[in-house]
Structure 1
C-alpha cells in the first residue's frame, strides 16, 4: 500500500498546485487585463472539495487530526488501546452513516441531472467525492483498527498541539 500512500500525497499536492495556479491566473486576468474566467471560482471549489476529502484519510494515516485525548494519554497501554478501539469503531460507524447518506444523495442528484452553475458538469459527478472520501476515510480507520487489534499500535494517534506548541516555544527561546 506504500504506492497508494504516495498517490494520495501526490493527488493532494497536484490539487493544491492546480488551485493555486488557477487562482493566480484568475487574479492576473482580472486585475491586469480586466477580464477573467467565469468558471474559475467554481473549479477552484471543486478542487478544494476533492483535496479536503483526500486529506481526511491522509490525516488519519499520519496522525494529523486533533482530538481530546488528555485523559486517554494518562491510561496504561491496555486501557488506552481499548478506548482507542472503541473510538475507532465509533468513527467507522460515523463513516458508514455518512457513506450511506451521501451515496443516496449522489444517486438522487444523478437522477435529477442538475449541472454546476458555471461548468458543463453534472453536479453528481462532483458530489461523488462525498461517498468516495468517506469510503477512503473508513479504509484508513480499518487500518488503524487492525493496528490496534494486532498490538502494533497502542492508541489512536492524534496530533498533540500542546507538545507542538511547547516545542515551538523552546525553539524560539533557543534563537533568542
Structure 2
C-alpha cells in the first residue's frame, strides 16, 4: 500500500493542529489586549471602548469552541472510567470505540444544526432533514442584515455587502462573522472525533477522556520512595 494517503492525513492533521493552536493563542492575546485597553481607558482617561465587552464575549465564545475540539485532540476532556476499568483491555477498547461512534454521530448532528443556524445569516439555505441533511431548503428568508450591537464594521469585510446584503452598507459588524465559529467549530470537533477513533483502532490512544498517565507516574514515584524507606 502506498504511503501517500498516510502522509496526506498527517499533513492535514498538522495543518489543522497549527490552525487551532494559532487561533487559540491569537484569541487569548486579543482578549487580553482589549480588556487591558478598556481598563486603562476607564481608570486613567475616564473613557471606554463601547464595543469592548461585546468583542471580548465574541472572542471568549470562539475560544471555548476552539478549545472543545482541541481538548479532544490532546485528551484533556474529563470523564468517568469507573465502569470501563472493570473490563480487560479488549473490553475497554470496545467500549471506547462505542463511545467514539456515539461522539461522531453527535458531532455530525451538531454540524448540521450549526450550519442550519448560521446559513441564513450568510444568505445561504439551511439543510432539510430532521437528523441528517437530505438536501437544502428553499425560500428561507435570510438574516444577513442582522448586525452586532456595538462592534463597528471593519473595512476588510466590506466585500460582504454586495455579496449577501444587496449592496446595503453595514454600520455594525454583521452577525454572520462571529456566528461563523459554529459550523467551523462543529466541523473541527467531528474531525477530532474521527481522528481519535482512528487512534483507538490503531492502539495509539486508549480512550476519548483524559488519560491517567500522570496519576500512574505519581503512584509509581510514591511506591519507589516507600521502598527506599
TM-score range, shorter chain: 0.7 to 0.9
Q: In the alignment, is the contact (CA less than 8 A) between 2:77 and 2:208 conserved in 1? A: no
One of 148, 153, 175 as aligned partner of 1:123? 175
Deviation string 1:29-60 (CA, Å, 9 cap, x unpaired) is: 01111101111111111111111111111101
Give the distance between the partners of 2:59 and 2:150, measured in 1 at CA: 14
- Say whether residues 1:37 and 2:55 are aligned partners: no
Which stretches of structure 1, 4 residues or more, deviate above 3 A after TM superposition? Answer: none
Give the distance between the partners of 1:159 and 1:47, measured in 2 at CA: 29
Alignment of 1:25-64 (within 5 A): 25-64=37-76
Q: CA RMSD in A?
A: 2.1
- Say whether residues 1:83 and 2:115 are aligned partners: no
Structure number with larger C-alpha Rg? 2
CA shift in 2, pair 1:50/1:23, >3 Å:
same
Give the distance between the partners of 1:38 and 1:60, measured in 2 at CA: 36
Give the distance between the partners of 1:6 and 1:124, measured in 2 at CA: 24
Q: In the alignment, is the contact (CA less than 8 A) between 1:67 and 1:159 conserved in 2? A: no
Number of the residue aligned with 1:137: 189
Q: In the alignment, is the contact (CA less than 8 A) between 1:78 and 1:154 conserved in 2? A: no
- Secondary structure class of the residue paired with 1:121: strand
Shift of 1:156: 2.6
One of 98, 106, 124 as aligned partner of 2:110? 98
Q: In the alignment, is the contact (CA less than 8 A) between 1:65 and 1:159 conserved in 2? A: no
Number of the residue aligned with 1:6: 18
Between Structure 1 and Structure 2, the one with more strand by share is 2
Q: Larger relative CO (CA 8 A, sep 6+): 1 or 2?
A: 1
- Secondary structure class of the residue paired with 1:128: helix
Please list every run of 5 or more consecutive structure 2 residues that lacks an aligned counterpart in the other structure.
Answer: 1-12, 123-141, 152-171, 223-229
Q: In the alignment, is the contact (CA less than 8 A) between 2:107 and 2:190 conserved in 1? A: yes
- Secondary structure class of the residue paired with 2:177: helix
Scaled by the length of structure 1, the TM-score of the pair is: 0.85
Please list every run of 5 or more consecutive structure 1 residues that lacks an aligned counterpart in the other structure.
Answer: 171-176
Moved more, 4-13 or 74-83: 4-13
- Say whether residues 1:149 and 2:181 are aligned partners: no
Scaled by the length of structure 2, the TM-score of the pair is: 0.67
